Amino acid sequence: MVNHQIIDARDPHPTPVDLTPEDLAALRENLREQRLFRQEQLREITAAAPARAEALLQRQAASQVEVSVKLAASARMVLADVEAALARMDDGSYGHCHLCRRPIARERLEIVPQARYCARCQQVREAGR
């Protein structure tokens, strides 16, 4: 499906034509669920870390501690992305690519509701790493 947008010179954040209010509500709910999941994940990691860290160090399982640290960092990163997407919903800029400013395809947002970039720009960013 080709993604078109209605352009109005007075509106700095035109709404993608294929995102209905129902789509936005469903995406917002998905983001809220992800936020709750990541917050709980971080609470569990943080609560278990002292006891587990001591036991793991005693058994010289530093690699498991490293995995926990990386998992927590990843959860924090996703949580920040989710929070940013919810803020974009609130300010009206949600669903638009941060690079090319074109609408992000609804299908992409359904899969990755916190997406900041359209599929094309995401590929360009990843190729440049």
Kindly report the pTM of this predicted structure. Answer: 0.66
d(CA 34, CA 40): 10
d(CA 110, CA 72): 25
pLDDT of 81-121, one tens digit each? Answer: 999 999 999 999 999 999 999 999 999 999 999 999 999 99
Q: Which residues contact 21 (CB under 8 A, 6 or more apart)?
A: none
pLDDT tier for residue 26 given thresholds of 50, 70 and 90: very high
- Residue 46's pLDDT is 80
pLDDT of 27-78, one tens digit each? Answer: 999 999 999 999 999 998 888 766 665 665 666 567 777 888 899 999 999 9
φ/ψ of residue 5, rounded to 5 = -135, 155
N residues, the chain: 129
Q: Which amino acid is at 79?
A: L
pLDDT of 1 > 50? The answer is no
User: For 16-21, what is the mean pLDDT?
Assistant: 75
d(CA 67, CA 61): 10
